[in-house]
Amino acid sequence: MKPDEIRYKQIIADHLESCLTETDLDLPGKKRGKVRDSYTLDDRMVFVTTDRQSAFDRILASVPFKGQVLNLTSAWWFDKTRHIVPNHKLAVPDPNTTIGTRCTVFPIEFVVRGYITGTTDTSLWTQYRSGVRSYCGIDFPEGLVKNQQLPEPVITPTTKADDHDRPISPKEIIEEGWMSREDWETASEYAMELFAFGQKTAEEHGLILVDTKYEMGRAADGRILLIDEIHTPDSSRYWLKDSFSRRLQEGLEPENIDKEFLRLWFREHCDPYHDAVLPKAPDELVIELSYRYIMLYELITGQKFVFPEGPGIDPAQRLAENLANLRGRDVE
């Protein structure tokens, strides 16, 4: 291992017991999501990205610094993509926190895929392997191989649900009243433009942006805004570009720097959708996942990741201090 990797992994190991897993801010309207806790503040929202690790519609583990990586990665991408679509970001008062414009959220996730892959029930490869050839209103040809690039990126939308997402076609979205035709066409066009920009940027940094999801909503002034997160290792799949073609030819899984390897571990050791109690993720896997998240942040942004000052730092206390008196603070 390189010196930086050794140092980073030791710091991560020292913080295994000091993850931000729960928040209890003195703010109204708390809602607990799989990874983010949100609070309502007049015409703004306070989004706190925790270190909870979610997959298979449940929490798998707590990963040190994960929330900080996700929040700061999104903040970087929000700033880089404002020329494509406006977004909700107003300020980042804490490494784990974004203040955003309050929106009426569209109940659809815009999932964009450039490759056929995945292990979850709603992944394109899982569906294709089981014999499905028409998915989310798109017809796929015979003979596709896992992890190969699609002829062109596609959108496979899902409904947003707390328990399990439902794949849905654009025709169903409009006919069932999830979104108007105009809103769907505008938002899906934004999603495709964001993905094209994300893939180009990732390639410039030696990465392949494989697939991702976007969420959008309507602000009080009528604008459609990009919200939640963008191109993070939680919402996206990234592979290393240099080794991809060789590994595909050899029948090997691509080298990835997202949470896929943790998904695979749980797939191999339990039934993550149905088992009442899941096994504890090994510390070495949690440390590796945290390191990959940090590596991705540094690769994409070109910035060094800033760790807390030392082990034993209570992230919840730091969060409360950074958000103190938020009600009266001008975050514009």
The Cα 154–Cα 30 span in angstroms is 35
The Cα 305–Cα 66 span in angstroms is 11
In sequence order, what E strands does 18-170 have? 31-32, 36-41, 44-49, 52-55, 58-62, 89-94, 97-101, 103-105, 108-115, 134-135, 138-139, 149-155, 158-159
Check if the beta carbon of residue 253 is closer than 8 Å to that of residue 148. no
pLDDT band at 121 (very low <50, low <70, confident <90, very high): confident
Nearest to 226 by CA among 52, 73, 82: 82
pLDDT tens string 264-308: 888 889 998 898 998 998 999 999 999 999 999 999 999 999 987
Rg (CA), the chain: 20
For the chain, the average pLDDT equals: 92
Q: What is the pLDDT of residue 260?
A: 76
Query: pTM for the complete prediction?
Result: 0.90
Does the pLDDT of residue 112 top 90, yes or no? yes
Nearest to 209 by CA among 220, 224, 222, 194: 194
pLDDT band at 54 (very low <50, low <70, confident <90, very high): confident
Strand partners, 94: 97
pLDDT band at 310 (very low <50, low <70, confident <90, very high): low
Strand partners, 207: 240
The Cα 82–Cα 101 span in angstroms is 14
Q: What is the pLDDT of residue 332?
A: 45
Burial 129-159 (b: 16+ CB within 10 A, else e): eeeeeebbbeebeeebebbeeeeebbbbbbb
When pLDDT is averaged across residues 36-49 and rounded to a whole number, the result is 94
User: What does DSSP assign to residue 87?
Assistant: B
Burial 250-275 (b: 16+ CB within 10 A, else e): eeeebebbbbbebbebbeeeeebeee
- List domains and CATH numbers for the chain: 3-328 (3.30.470.20)
The Cα 44–Cα 41 span in angstroms is 5
User: What does DSSP assign to residue 282?
Assistant: P
Q: What is the pLDDT of residue 311?
A: 60
CB-based contacts of 254, cutoff 8 Å, min separation 6:
147, 208, 239, 240, 243, 244, 247, 248
Q: What is the pLDDT of residue 287?
A: 95
Per residue, the 3-state secondary structure of 137-199, as one string, reads CEECCCCCCCCCEEEEEEECCEECCCCCCCECCHHHHHHCCCCCHHHHHHHHHHHHHHHHHHH
Nearest to 97 by CA among 158, 55, 141, 50: 50
Q: Which two tokens stand for residue 7?
A: 């140092």
The Cα 219–Cα 307 span in angstroms is 34
Angle, in degrees to the nearest 10, between helices 260-269 and 283-301: 160
Nearest to 109 by CA among 234, 200, 273, 240: 234
pLDDT above 70 coverage of the chain, percent: 96
